[in-house]
Amino acid sequence: MVRLIASLVGAAFVFVLGLALFGTVSDWITNPPPESAEHEFHREALDAGLPSNGVLGRFDRRQVQRGFQVFQEVCSACHSLKYVSFRDLRQIGYSEAEVKAIAKGWKIEQPSINAETGEASTRPNVPSDRFPSPFANEVAARAANNNALPPDLSLMAKARHNGANYIYSLVGHGYVNQPAELLRKFPGAKTPTGLHYNQYFANLNIAMPPPLTQDGQVTYSDGTRASVDQMAKDVSAFLTWTAEPNLEARHSAGFAAVIFILIFCFLAWGAYQNVWRDVKH
C-alpha cells in the first residue's frame, strides 16, 4: 500500500512538472519575447590574437610592457589596479631599479597618516605598494565621472566573458556611430546624453568616453607604431597578465601533467602485458 501511494505521489509530481514545462514552452511559442536592440546589434568580440591565448600560450613581455604604458598614460587617470603591486612589474621584464623609478614617479602618491599629527597625508610609492586609486573614494570617483564608477581593472580580463578579446574589441573597435537601422527599428534606443554607443558593450551604451582616440596617442619606448588597434591589443595583453600573472606556470604544469599521464598509461599497459602474458584466454 505504501509503495502504491508513493508511486501515485511521484506520478502526480512528474505530471505537474510536465504540465508546467508544457505551459512555459507553449507560452514562449505563442508569445515570444520582443526583440531588443541589445540582442540584435550587440557584436561578439573580435579575436585579439594575443600570444597568451591557447593551452600553450605565453606572454610577449614587450607587448605587456607596452600595454602597461597604455594603462599608465591613458587608463590610470580613471581606473584603479588595486590587486597589483609595483614590484609585480618585475615579472614582465622591468629591472629592480626601473620598478623603483616607476613607483616613485607614479602621479598618485600613497595615502598615509602623519605619525606626529595624526592627519591624513601622502608619501611616495615604493615597490611593495599596490597601485593607488586615482580617487580618494567612491563618491569622488562618481563625481568626476558623471555618477559612473570606473571599475577596477586588476581582474577585468577574468571578470568578463572572453576577457582579453572583449577588452580589445571594446576599447579599440567598439566606439562607432549609432547605426541608423537601430534607430529606425528601435526609436527609443537612442544613446542617452552622457553615454557613448559601443557595439561590444552589453547594453550598447557605456559611460566611459573613448579612451583611445587616435594613432600615436602613446609614444612607445620600443619604437612600435602606436595605432589604435595596436594600443588596444597591448592594453588587453597587460590586463590579461594582471588578471592571471601565473598563466605561463599553469600552462607549463598542465602540459607536464598530460605528459606524465601519457607515460604512466604506457607503463601501466606494459605492466599489464607482462603480468598476463602467460595466461591463456
CB count in 10 Å sphere of residue 232 = 24
CB 172, CB 229: distance < 8 Å = yes
Q: Which residue has the cell 556611430?
A: 177
Where do runs of H (alpha helix) occur along 32-179?
37-41, 61-73, 96-105, 138-144, 156-159, 163-173
Rounded CA-CA distance 186/43 in Å is 17
Whether 78 has a binding-site annotation, put simply, is: yes
Whether 231 has a binding-site annotation, put simply, is: no
Rounded CA-CA distance 200/202 in Å is 6
Proportion of the chain in helix, strand, coil states, percent, rounded to 5: 50, 5, 45
The H or E element spanning position 181 is helix 180-185
Q: Where are the beta strands (DSSP E) in 83-215?
A: 110-113, 120-123, 196-197, 205-206
Whether 208 has a binding-site annotation, put simply, is: yes
Rounded CA-CA distance 253/270 in Å is 26
Q: Which residue has the cell 573613448?
A: 210
Cell of 38: 541589445
List binding-site positions for heme c. 75, 78-79, 208
List binding-site positions. 75, 78-79, 208
